[in-house]
Amino acid sequence: MSDAKTRISETNAANDVVLYMKGTKEMPQCGFSSRVAGVLNFIGVEYADVNVLADEDIRQGIKDFSDWPTIPQLYVKGEFVGGCDIITEMTLSGELDTLFAENAVTFDKEKADQIREANA
């Protein structure tokens, strides 16, 4: 499991934003992963996607790494942010905008506002 932890740490260090998900950003394989990837794609965030279905060590390793039992998991600047419910709440409250802005992660504020308007 230490190999998985090392690979996760290296992936998180090499990318400002990482989404550990079932499937890929182009083809999510579960509704929760699809929702988070959809938000990130819609607002134009550049992120690395890690398909946990392709690697059982990473699939279990990411849960151990974060001490969080579910996938997807979003990391920004190496810090665990949350899963689908947390990212959804943060998107709707504007907290995700703030997190990205504070970490110099480029995103389309107008698109983020459109999500909030559509869910008001």
Q: List the binding residues.
A: 30
Q: Which residues, including other chains, have CB under 8 Å from residue 114's CB and lie 6 or more apart? A: none
Query: What distances in angstroms separate CA 37 from CA 1, 75, 84, 87, one per listed residue?
Result: 26, 13, 10, 10
Annotated binding-site residue numbers for [2Fe-2S] cluster: 30
